[in-house]
Amino acid sequence: MSLPDYKSSGKQSSPAVPQSPVVQLNVGGHMFTTSLSSLRKHPESKLAELFSSLPKLRTDAQGRHFIDRDGSHFGAILEFLRSDRLPTENIPEVYREALHYNIKPLVKRLEETPQLFGELVGRQQFLSRVPHYKENIEVLIRIARAEAIAARHSTIMICVLRTEEDLSFYDSAINSLEAVKESVVTFGPWKAVPLVKDLLDCVKMDIESQGYRVSIQPHIMEKSFLSRSYDFFYKLTFSWW
């Protein structure tokens, strides 16, 4: 059965998928030439859907099929569709594109690479066991931005409680702190192998991944004769300029 003649309606419609096995693509300004069979290689993928029998894409001024997405890493996607070859660089970026286009075999193989295996199986599995971790990162950024007016630095106190035993000292530790209690953001406790330093490294990494510059230093508390000191506290400093 042939495709309907869209010209007869008087309206401009998306062009039909070409009958030629060669397809010209414009992906966010990046030009590619590939085969229809490569684009349809994985039937459940978004690319296979876009290039199914029904027209679903616009064309640019030169008649190339246009995909409105950054095409910087689309070449790696095409290379996998053509030859099953994995990229050797920009793994996280290609992984995001593979997720977007729902190319499940590529997603699975990228997740097995050292670059993503450590992140997904190691770090993210650890962070999933730290209560309210993502929410705390958002709170830290929100507080820092609120305190940035006419200042070069914003400093926030972090309390890290590694174990349930640490948690039992929480009230006493907070009461011994001279800083304003509302400015203290608390992490933990958690049931996993990583230590406090590992948690602090994750906090720094995830905040800096959003474009901020931060440093973390222990908060040294003076120990009086009648009281104990607590090593739960750290100063997280945002540098604005």
Q: Label residue 55 by pLDDT band (50, 70, 90).
A: low
**Same domain for 140 and 179:** yes
Task: Give the domain range for residue 226.
Answer: 133-239
Give the model's pLDDT for residue 174: 86
* Residue range 63-84, pLDDT digits in tens: 999 999 999 999 999 999 999 9
Confidence of residue 61 (pLDDT cuts 50, 70, 90): very high
Q: Which amino acid is at 222?
A: E
Asked, for residue 83, whether it belongs to a domain, the answer is yes
* pTM of the entire predicted model: 0.76
Q: Does residue 14 have a pLDDT over 80? A: no
Mean pLDDT score, 88-99: 96
**34 in the same domain as 78:** yes
Residue 230, pLDDT above cutoff 90: no
In a domain, 125, yes or no: no
- Over residues 150-159, mean pLDDT: 95
